[in-house]
Structure 1
Amino acid sequence: MYRSCAPAALTALLLKLESVYFEQDAMWTALYAHYVERHHEAVAAGSLLQSHHVNGWPLVEGLQRIHALRELQPQTRHRTPSVTPSVDLVLCYCGRNERIEWLRGFHRLPWRDEDRSETIRNSVALRIYHKCGHIFPNEEEEKQKLIAAWSSWFHTVEVRFVDDEIRADDCSAYLAYIVDRYDNMPEFAVFLHADAPEHIPTVDLLMDTVFAAARGYLPREAGFIHLSHNYVRHDCPGSTEPCRTPDAFEVSQLWRTVFRSSITPAMSQGDLNGYCCVQFLVRRERVHLRNKEFYARALRFFGDTPASYHALFPVGKVVWEPDTRGRTPCQLTMYFWHVMFGEELWLPRRHRDTRLPLFIRMLNIEAEAVVEAQRGEDGPAAAVIQFTGDDTGADDTYYRLQSLFSEADA
């Protein structure tokens, strides 16, 4: 590409630099030096001309953007180990049949060369919110077992048992963390299930996002980042049939209670769309948009009382056993979280959200996004979006995930 069209190759290098702008100096500087050398060679050989800039190759703009991104990190950060972590990993965990060895990937992914252990140990805490204390005869023994297993991997490891009136999983785990640490939160909190890799398009996205946050390299406008892979639209776009997701009574009741609102979004009209499966990063300032009592009240609603289950029915205080197995109130609330933290009701797909860094935007462009672009929902220029093949199939992704659980990589 460089020999046939130097501006195109240089633009590709700039995009690569932007996609890894948060990396450690040794890796990033080598790639930057490669770009500078190729740029100088192209100018000297006459294959990069002023006319290329005039005709729209964004080399100057791209370089300016990369320099701005590299300047995000405070100059004084991470020269010495942090007294307090800058990122909390909040893990909703049960302990029975849940394997969390994938957490080792924050240090090093088996298929990548980067060793990030120093940054993770200095800047990332693991807060385990244990939801299955009732199956362990000795909670303290279980707690110390988890702390011993992970204390050498993270800045801090804490284990907190959360016992609900009727089990609420991530709803009460996440809310309990916010209530516990509302007045002493780090800059970022990352909320995850114990099986997080199953909900995320690629585990690289999770590891890179946490690493960038820990190094101070997330732009200020990135206040909330959903990390799950499945974007859900409730307005049935493009369908010739009536929408099959009506505005259910129980959704409106949950919304009114959580937000103390007299009105609710019309989901079938597309008022409330976003990602399912509640794996996300949020800045402290976004959490603090609401007062502590908001979260304490929500925790009482979902965890301390059966009220969220009662809200599913219009008459009486009913708790239906199938709802308890499926954690129905929390399942229905998965589309509320981004609104709690200051996002618009309609959360855009990640690749369309210009507030997010390129390395987050370029992963998991779903097939539905192509159809939406073809319908003109992104403007006329977006219709060119298309998919190209790659050399990683489903099996390769599967075996990569399995390698996270290999003792050989511990």
Structure 2
Amino acid sequence: MVRIVVVFLGLSVIAVSLRTSYYSQHLVMPTEEGKGPPSKTFVVASVEKDDISWLHKHLPEWDVSRYVVDNASANLTVPRNKGQEAMAYLTYIIDSYDNFPDLILFMHNGRYQWHNDDPLYDAVPVLQNLQLPYLISQQYTNLRCVWTLGCPAEMEFNKSPANVDASKTTEIAYPEAFQELFPGQSLPPTVGVACCAQFVVTREKIRERPIEDYKRYRQWLLDTPLDDYVSGRILEYSWHIIFGKPPVHCPNTKECYCRVFGQCDLECGEGECGQHWPFPPYSTLPPGWPTVGWDGETRSEEDLAGLRENATTTSPTAEIRSRALVLT
């Protein structure tokens, strides 16, 4: 009997050790004892014609706050359709400041979008793989791990105007906007964060700033004469600063995939993991994507599975990069 107990205790120690090792390797935190799952909401920026039924179908455990920016009679809408997704995000924060869930995920409306951090640009596995305890521990997390585009330095302000690419109007407009958004703070020499304005924030992190700050950001967006594209991008490269991260926030890509999505076996270099996010040749996915490819070819489920399987080991080709249009 003693021998059996000793063996049992030994196996128990091994089991505990393996479990601890698993959480250490995958960097996933266990849920606090006695607490249920966190309350969580998708905040979706959309126009009236958009179909977001895919969210309800594939992620029914999330609440959805859909802001319709082009319909003043919608249940959730905005003061003016301006500044791209930023107007919807800020309006939600102002509207819900006293009633946030534990976790808020700010996102665009489409399931398939070129910037979704997935081999097929599919938001469903991105959202289904989220490691919620880790997100709660970080308080703010960008939904892109790949550095292309935005990292390690989207905007650099230590250049003379003659050396600034005139096409980068956001970079030219950002310094003045920064002073209005963050009065009293010094403009950082460099701003970098992975695009494209989809992120997760906790209730506590949002409330570290008073509601007056978010009202000021929205009023700036309403008043600015800047083009919607430029004003939206200024906020796109300010959210991480608003929520307490340094001006350059570019986490290690391999660690990011592991911690944020539980994908810990990817082969990674600096800023990318094979073709887990392949650089797209165009900013608009072809009709019928993903069963219709870039060149109009039909792709079976087996083809799509093969693309996913090969995505972690193949590097983006120079040919694809050279074909790419400006995406942001």
Which TM-score band (shorter chain)?
0.5 to 0.7
1:6-405 mapped onto 2 (5 Å cutoff): 62-63=21-22, 65=24, 69=28, 71-77=30-36, 86-96=39-49, 98-107=50-59, 117=60, 120=61, 124-133=62-71, 139=73, 143=74, 159-164=75-80, 167-195=82-110, 197-198=112-113, 199-202=115-118, 203=123, 204-209=125-130, 212-213=131-132, 217-218=133-134, 220-228=136-144, 230-232=148-150, 233-234=153-154, 244=165, 248-266=171-189, 271-303=190-222, 307-309=223-225, 312=226, 323-324=227-228, 327-349=229-251, 351=253, 357=259, 359=261, 362=264, 369=271, 387=274, 398-399=290-291
Unmatched tracts of structure 1, length 5 or more: 1-35, 41-57, 79-84, 108-116, 144-158, 237-241, 313-322, 371-385, 404-410
One-letter amino acid matched to 2:205 = R
As a proportion of its length, which structure holds more helix? 1
Give the superposition deviation at 1:127: 0.7
Deviations 1:377-397 (A, max 9, x none): xxxxxxxxx7499xxxx9998
TM-score between the two structures when normalised by the length of structure 2:
0.64
Give the superposition deviation at 1:221: 2.9
Retained in 2: the 8 A contact 1:188–1:283? yes
One-letter amino acid matched to 2:237 = Y
Q: 1:364 to 1:103 in 2, by over 3 A?
A: farther
TM-score between the two structures when normalised by the length of structure 1:
0.52
Give the superposition deviation at 1:399: 3.1
Retained in 2: the 8 A contact 1:255–1:261? no
Q: What is the alpha-carbon distance in structure 1 between the residues aligned to residue 257 and residue 63 of structure 2?
A: 26
Retained in 2: the 8 A contact 1:201–1:364? no
Retained in 1: the 8 A contact 2:105–2:199? yes
Q: What is the alpha-carbon distance in structure 1 between the residues aligned to residue 57 and residue 265 of structure 2?
A: 18
Deviations 1:209-262 (A, max 9, x none): 2xx43xxx33643211111464313369xxxxx774698441111111111135
Give the superposition deviation at 1:363: 9.1
Q: What is the alpha-carbon distance in structure 2 between the residues aligned to residue 205 and residue 363 of structure 1?
A: 16
Q: What is the alpha-carbon distance in structure 2 between the residues aligned to residue 72 and residue 400 of structure 1?
A: 40
**Count of residues paired in the alignment:** 257
Give the superposition deviation at 1:207: 2.4
Retained in 1: the 8 A contact 2:254–2:266? no
Greater Cα radius of gyration, structure 1 or 2: 1
Q: 1:263 to 1:175 in 2, by over 3 A?
A: same
Q: What is the alpha-carbon distance in structure 2 between the residues aligned to residue 190 and residue 342 of structure 1?
A: 17
One-letter amino acid matched to 1:133 = N
Unmatched tracts of structure 2, length 5 or more: 1-10, 157-162, 277-284, 294-298, 301-328
Q: What is the alpha-carbon distance in structure 2 between the residues aligned to residue 274 and residue 180 of structure 1?
A: 27
Q: 1:66 to 1:300 in 2, by over 3 A?
A: same
Deviations 1:89-147 (A, max 9, x none): 10111113x2323214534xxxxxxxxx4xx0xxx32111110015xxxx3xxx4xxxx
